[in-house]
Structure 1
Amino acid sequence: MENNIVLTDKLQEYFGFDRFKGKQEEAIKSVLEGNNTFVLMPTGGGKSLIYQLPALILEGTAIVISPLIALMKNQVDSIRGTHSEDNIAHFLNSSLSKSAIAEVKEDVLSGKTKLLYVAPESLTKEDNIEFLKKIKISFYAIDEAHCISEWGHDFRPEYRRIKPIVEEIGKSPIVALTATATAKVQHDIQKNLGILDAKVFMASFNRENLYYEVRPKVKPETQIIKFIKQNEGKSGIIYCLSRKKVEELAETLLINGVKALAYHAGMDAATRSGNQDKFLMEEVDVIVATIAFGMGIDKPDVRFVIHYDIPKSLEGYYQETGRAGRDGGEGQCVTFYSYKDIQKLEKFMHGKPVAEQEIGKQLLLDTVSYAESAICRRIILLHYFGEKYEPENCGNCDNCLNPKEQIEAKDEIVTALKAILEVNEKYKGDHIANILIGNKTAAVKSFKHDTLKAFGTGKKHEERYWNAVFRQSMVAGIINKDIENYGLLKVTPVGHEFLAKPHSFMLVKNHEYEEEDGSNSGGAPSGGSSGDPQLFAMLKDLRKKIAKRNNLPPFVIFQDPSLADMSIQYPISIDELQQIQGVGMGKAKRYGREFAALIKSYVEENEIDRPEDLVVRSVANKSKMKVFIIQSIDRKLSFEDIADSKGVDVKDIITEVEAIVNSGTKLNIDYYIDDVLDEDHQEEIFDYFREAETDSIEEALAELGEDEYSEEDIRLMRVKFFSDLGN
């Protein structure tokens, strides 16, 4: 007991805390007793204390191996902050000058330094090895130890070389620490460091305050903006896999009134750290980032983490979602999933070494099974980290809040177990699924597995169904994945019992995630067919009134397809009007106010549910072509030259120009019209459109005479007419 009292005294003396968290104390005792120790604690669990406190108490210097220079500096600063002397902790890495290195070595040799942080790369340098041989090392602490395993989500080859170097310097106890490790990764770490005898301390991976949800990736931008607007003013992180997507999404959020910034490794360091600081200081609410963001981000009140793309591994997913709700408050974790993304990720792997592809594929399969599963997200996530979650319903994930239908699967489990045993437990789930459904893949044929008893015994179900059977049998402990050859399915003792005495097994039916189609649903009908005929008629009346007031034909104000789109989408603000087909900023500002007001009162009076999707503005995709045309017209280039440089016809350029002008942008093409039409002809067409009922080109040609004018002449003049009068 005395040891105990002393420990809490030391904790108070060095760090000002009066009690330990979770398993900290037991782990610290293990280090003090000189045992090899393995510590697995989720972020925020207080891992660093487990080596810092013993280092201050024990004789000698503790060597802490850490992968990130920035984190080292933070750690050293924080220890110095709790101690009167700066030389209590130092770091040795490539950022130090020669004289600084000499100073560090002097402090260490004189015995003043209790903690020396080293990057694995610095550890391998010959002169550092010679130097470390001279000092008394209390123990080695390997932080972020998952970097050792190729199965970890952040593998660093230089971490594989730690063991031989430590042996060269001189043996001392080893403490390995990590915040995420599956059973497979943990085994890898211990094996690689030669500490299979280590005492293992695991804290629970359950973060009760986090809400997990997986949504189909249909119009994700719209869903994200809607989500953020419902969580106005809260801090959040959105992860995307590519830098390009990060920048596009950040821009889309900005023009939709969300304070957002981008963050990825391709930006220069100053911009990147500037954006990070703005997020920490709450000058912006949302950071859109690649996974480079978040290492060492200690913002306690991140309220949501959204994955625009599904992560490559469940470990990565756990790490990233774990940045939400660090203070124990609300943390919403929403992930968008479509199987197409998985196929994209598999394509990325093709260039890599075969072993790496194999690993990547297995990790992806685990992610897919998490996403498509209909059982409690927590059960699957915790099971992945080797932890059993007892409650049937966690009450804080989409699957528990909306339970899915269950079906009896006793016979199917038996069928699956027989197949696994028939191939001597030497194959992975996807191969066994192919055997069950009777799919003669190349692998099935080459192993002659199409001659097995099990072949085709499960053909009344599809592959997805069998994946659910394997996954849910794993959670129930009936089968598991081999640790040495990850992915091979093995039948556990519980599974053998099940085979001997099968009992009811309720299988939860998998989600079917429908794919997003490329077409933009919800757009306006072509022509003038309308959504709400009553509103459409009212909008036409209003258009007539405004046209009369401005002494213009009605179609100059808005064309029929625009009114039709309004009667479908019910836009009630100038912002929303700009989303309507054929209405740009210029038109919306010039004529939009009365239309928006009319629609708003109509919606309120008739208690109409508006399609919220409308609220999303897309980044002004004036496509490069449009921008090019506008710039060329500013430079007074002829339409022929513009067409030639883009490899298209003059007709195509006129079509683009019409689209630009119809949505309210003013273009001055007089210089070009003056070249092709004399003044009288121009005036005749212009006057025609002033009086015309419609803006139809055919009618204009019939009225003005096809022998006198070409279709292009009339289209050009109509552009000028709209631009001069409408915009």
Structure 2
Amino acid sequence: MPSQLASSPPVRTQLLEALRRYWGYDSFLPLQEQAMSAGMAGQDSVVVLPTGGGKSLCYQAPAVCRDGLALVISPLISLMKDQVDALRACGVPAAAINSTLTAGERREVAEQIRRGKLKLVYVAPERLLAERTLEFFKQTPLSLIAIDEAHCISQWGHDFRPEYRGLRILKEVFPKASVHAFTATASDAVQRDIADQLGLADPQMLIGSFDRPNLNFRIRRPANRFAEVCQLVEQRKGEAGIVYCISRKEVDKTADALRSLGYRALPYHAGLSDDQRHRNQDAFLDEEADVVVATVAFGMGIDKSNVRYVIHAGMPKSLEHYVQESGRAGRDGLEADCLLLYSGRDAIVWRQLIEKGENGADAGALESLAAMERFCGGVTCRHKAIVNYFGQELENDNCGACDVCLGELNLVEEPVVLAQKILSCVLRLDQRFGADYTSKVLAGSNEARIRELGHDRLSTYGLLSEHRNSAIREWVEQLVGQSFLRKAGEYGTLELTEAGRAVLKGEGSPQLTKPAPAAKERRSRSGSSSDNWEGVDRGLFEELRKLRTTLANEHGVPPYVVFGDAALRDMARRRPSTLDAFLEVRGVGERKRDDYGDAFITAIVDYCSTGGVPVDVAEVASTPVASPRTRAEGPNASSIAAFTHFRRGASIEETMEAMGRARSTVAGYLSEYLRHEQVQDPSPWVEDDLVKRIELAIAEVGLVGLKPIFDHLGGEVPYEPIRIVATCVANREG
């Protein structure tokens, strides 16, 4: 690997001046200076930086500093548009050539290129490789060529795109232009393959840390996925978030349920029409919707910096996918939440999809899936596990930004003994049964099947009967995740691994967890005070958000193109009252000062004058970071679907017919509706005379349970109306 280029003082000064003038930054992020120096010196490079690490600036800054045109190869039209809009908002002349342009618009861009009026042009690989396009750019002095999402070039890339393989001719067609490949996730093999496929000449290999310290990782195996989703959506209400689901059906179901609860949520998947997908994506970018519920079809083309949370309502099929998708949160460097909800069933679904692929079971895909399972079931620092997977080390022992390091997972006292009991049961069952059945045997279940098969006579039957079946099931999954057990076949039959057999001999160190009683406060690792809420006037921040939306609508661009959340927080922290002070805000360059400075300064001064708040603040006051919430309880997506019926006063019978559900199921949905909506009037579902009888009984015996009320009524009134009335009475009493 060649030594990394160090920029000379004049080049460094030139780059910093460009960063300050156009983008409002006064320093480099890690590896940016080396990557920019390669672009300035005409040295090929492969640059791997995590999402939010400032990859785009690595080629944009050299492009504005050098003579000639920078050619940027980008995979998606929407991403091109966002990049061009953002560059123009900063005062950088840029354009894109794609299928959305009319013939006249294409001729206009071509004329701008011939006259040297543009610094960057974005183009898709398919269009660039057309003979006519290549001939046109041969006549154009190029400063550099940048390839975004470069992992698509590699045969090992996890988002393989065939058109990218044709880019190997770039060095032949444009021998004088340096080529720079950029991606967010690439293993050693992918990094080398990118360089080989492109035929790069002695490239700089600039590999940044895969750690994203501003992301707060949590992994849970929930009893109620939708309730967990709702908790984080509610906690971040009004902020941008993405919820990933494995299937289109789950996407639609979850989006509908969130909307019925009043959240601004939209679906996104390949089953929707192109027009609907574009409308939903634009609504998210323009802050007309807060939440996008999506399959993995959503995300690569999203250049939205202020996504505050990403929820995986199902396990991704690889850590590469997880890092890419969770990395769409917190691109502005501010704290963001990443919640992964998984079950053993997720792995079975993915395994079936992989095995049904065009080429049958792909060994590499199955190994990636196994690594993802180990990550979910592991109990080591989440940040450490991610960077270790990509061949790096984490400097700190405690990241302060994941459920493990925050102490939200409690380790059991004797994990080896507990693991031995579970592993022994798997062997006693001849390694022929799955996790659910094995857990029931260990719990001492009286199910008929267990008795019929004689498993109630095993020495391991009821060995863990003092524990809940759900806890035993979780420990089985943790042993799978830590590679002491593996799941085989279509039904996930449990088998011992060599490591598992070693544990039976007293060798090895499994770690098993139990739920912690309370969550600890998160300790931010994100760096300076500008990365959080310290010193930020929240009221002013909200006023500036409204102004940003207004200006974005006037200019026809997404709000984050005007300013990102990090810039708005810094404004609400510094509260500048002059244009010179406004230019000191991180993220404000000269063009944005000229375009937006007067409007924002007026809003800041008006707000501060009205509220008696000081302006031009130099020092930042410290405020505590809010602690995370505890585990969620609440309705699931299926019960939410019934809420629409109950809101219009539909009876249990009418809802049963509309939904095709059993009476007991719909009665359960009604109970959840009454609690969730805090309904106080039971009359739509219980006759008035009966309501009065039940309320009198409650007044006599209190709300200590349903059975005392049932007994007080002489056993004459069924539990169903008692439950309905008691819930409404409890809602009244708060």
**Counterpart in the other structure of 2:167:** 162
Aligned residue type for 1:468: Q
Shift of 1:67: 0.5
Change over 3 Å in CA distance of 1:116–1:236 after alignment to 2: closer
The answer on whether the counterparts of 1:372 and 1:511 sit within 8 Å (CA) in structure 2 is: no
Does 1:404 pair with 2:411?
yes
The answer on whether the counterparts of 1:139 and 1:173 sit within 8 Å (CA) in structure 2 is: yes
Aligned residue type for 2:45: T
Does 1:52 pair with 2:60?
yes
SS in 2 for 1:399: coil
For residue 290 of structure 1, the aligned residue among 290, 295, 308 is 295
Distance 1:290 1:237 in 2: 10
**Counterpart in the other structure of 2:255:** 250
Does 1:9 pair with 2:1?
no
**Counterpart in the other structure of 2:511:** 509
Change over 3 Å in CA distance of 1:197–1:584 after alignment to 2: farther
Does 1:381 pair with 2:479?
no
Change over 3 Å in CA distance of 1:215–1:12 after alignment to 2: closer
SS in 2 for 1:35: coil
**Counterpart in the other structure of 2:218:** 213
Shift of 1:589: 9.4
For residue 48 of structure 2, the aligned residue among 10, 25, 40 is 40
SS in 1 for 2:411: coil
Percent of matched pairs sharing the same residue:
38
SS in 1 for 2:249: helix
Shift of 1:111: 3.2
Shift of 1:356: 7.7
Deviates more, 1:340-349 or 1:96-105: 96-105
Deviations 1:169-192 (A, max 9, x none): 445321111122222322221221
For residue 151 of structure 2, the aligned residue among 142, 146, 150 is 146
**Counterpart in the other structure of 1:101:** 106
Change over 3 Å in CA distance of 1:360–1:386 after alignment to 2: same
The answer on whether the counterparts of 1:129 and 1:169 sit within 8 Å (CA) in structure 2 is: no
Distance 2:238 2:697 in 1: 29
Distance 2:159 2:331 in 1: 22
**Counterpart in the other structure of 1:587:** 685
Deviations 1:547-597 (A, max 9, x none): xxxxxxxxxxxxxx989989x97986595789xxxx999426978987997
Aligned length: 481
Shift of 1:158: 0.7
Shift of 1:292: 2.7
The CA RMSD measured in Å over matched residues stands at: 4.5
SS in 2 for 1:374: coil
Aligned residue type for 1:158: E
Change over 3 Å in CA distance of 1:229–1:67 after alignment to 2: closer
SS in 2 for 1:386: coil
Counting only pairs closer than 5 Å after superposition, residues 485-500 of structure 1 correspond to structure 2 as none
Shift of 1:79: 2.6
Q: Where does the alignment leave 5 or more consecutive residues of structure 1 unmatched?
A: 410-437, 441-461, 472-503, 514-519, 524-560, 610-692, 696-727
Distance 2:82 2:678 in 1: 46
Aligned residue type for 2:110: K
**Counterpart in the other structure of 2:324:** 319
The answer on whether the counterparts of 1:377 and 1:397 sit within 8 Å (CA) in structure 2 is: yes
The answer on whether the counterparts of 1:577 and 1:588 sit within 8 Å (CA) in structure 2 is: no
Does 1:187 pair with 2:285?
no
Aligned residue type for 1:81: A
Deviations 1:462-517 (A, max 9, x none): 9986973699xxxxxxxxxxxxxxxxxxxxxxxxxxxxxxxx9984425699xxxx
Shift of 1:378: 1.1
The answer on whether the counterparts of 1:21 and 1:46 sit within 8 Å (CA) in structure 2 is: yes
SS in 2 for 1:310: coil
**Counterpart in the other structure of 1:489:** none
SS in 1 for 2:156: coil
Does 1:346 pair with 2:346?
no
For residue 375 of structure 2, the aligned residue among 370, 375, 396 is 370
Aligned residue type for 2:143: S
Shift of 1:296: 4.2
Deviations 1:5-50 (A, max 9, x none): 2332233344443332222122111221121112111222221111
Distance 1:156 1:599 in 2: 69
Does 1:67 pair with 2:165?
no
Distance 1:260 1:42 in 2: 27
**Counterpart in the other structure of 2:729:** none
Aligned residue type for 1:124: L
Distance 1:119 1:394 in 2: 39
Distance 2:315 2:332 in 1: 25
Distance 1:260 1:252 in 2: 9
Deviates more, 1:114-123 or 1:14-23: 14-23
Q: Where does the alignment leave 5 or more consecutive residues of structure 2 unmatched?
A: 1-8, 417-429, 433-475, 486-505, 516-634, 639-662, 707-715, 719-734
Aligned residue type for 1:61: L
**Counterpart in the other structure of 1:705:** none
Deviates more, 1:277-286 or 1:140-149: 277-286
Counting only pairs closer than 5 Å after superposition, residues 213-252 of structure 1 correspond to structure 2 as 213-229=218-234, 232-252=237-257
Deviations 1:236-277 (A, max 9, x none): 321112221111112223334444322223323444344344
Does 1:172 pair with 2:177?
yes
Distance 2:694 2:307 in 1: 36
**Counterpart in the other structure of 1:331:** 336
Shift of 1:330: 4.1
Distance 1:178 1:602 in 2: 69
Deviations 1:663-704 (A, max 9, x none): xxxxxxxxxxxxxxxxxxxxxxxxxxxxxx899xxxxxxxxx
Counting only pairs closer than 5 Å after superposition, residues 73-112 of structure 1 correspond to structure 2 as 73-83=81-91, 88-112=93-117
Change over 3 Å in CA distance of 1:285–1:12 after alignment to 2: closer
Shift of 1:229: 4.5
Aligned residue type for 1:76: V
The answer on whether the counterparts of 2:76 and 2:301 sit within 8 Å (CA) in structure 1 is: no
Distance 2:143 2:477 in 1: 54
Counting only pairs closer than 5 Å after superposition, residues 346-495 of structure 1 correspond to structure 2 as 346-354=351-359, 357-400=362-405, 401=407, 402-404=409-411, 468=482
The answer on whether the counterparts of 1:573 and 1:596 sit within 8 Å (CA) in structure 2 is: no
Aligned residue type for 1:289: A
**Counterpart in the other structure of 1:27:** 35
For residue 130 of structure 2, the aligned residue among 125, 130, 145 is 125
Bigger Rg, structure 1 or 2: 1
Distance 1:303 1:253 in 2: 17
> When the two structures are superposed, what TM-score results if normalisation uses the length of structure 2?
0.57
Aligned residue type for 1:190: A
The answer on whether the counterparts of 1:24 and 1:46 sit within 8 Å (CA) in structure 2 is: yes
Distance 2:351 2:371 in 1: 13
Higher relative contact order (CA 8 A, sep 6+): 2
Aligned residue type for 2:77: I
Distance 1:154 1:286 in 2: 24
Change over 3 Å in CA distance of 1:101–1:600 after alignment to 2: farther
Deviates more, 1:34-43 or 1:1-10: 1-10
Distance 1:27 1:246 in 2: 39
**Counterpart in the other structure of 1:18:** 26
Shift of 1:151: 3.3
Counting only pairs closer than 5 Å after superposition, residues 612-623 of structure 1 correspond to structure 2 as none
Shift of 1:333: 1.7
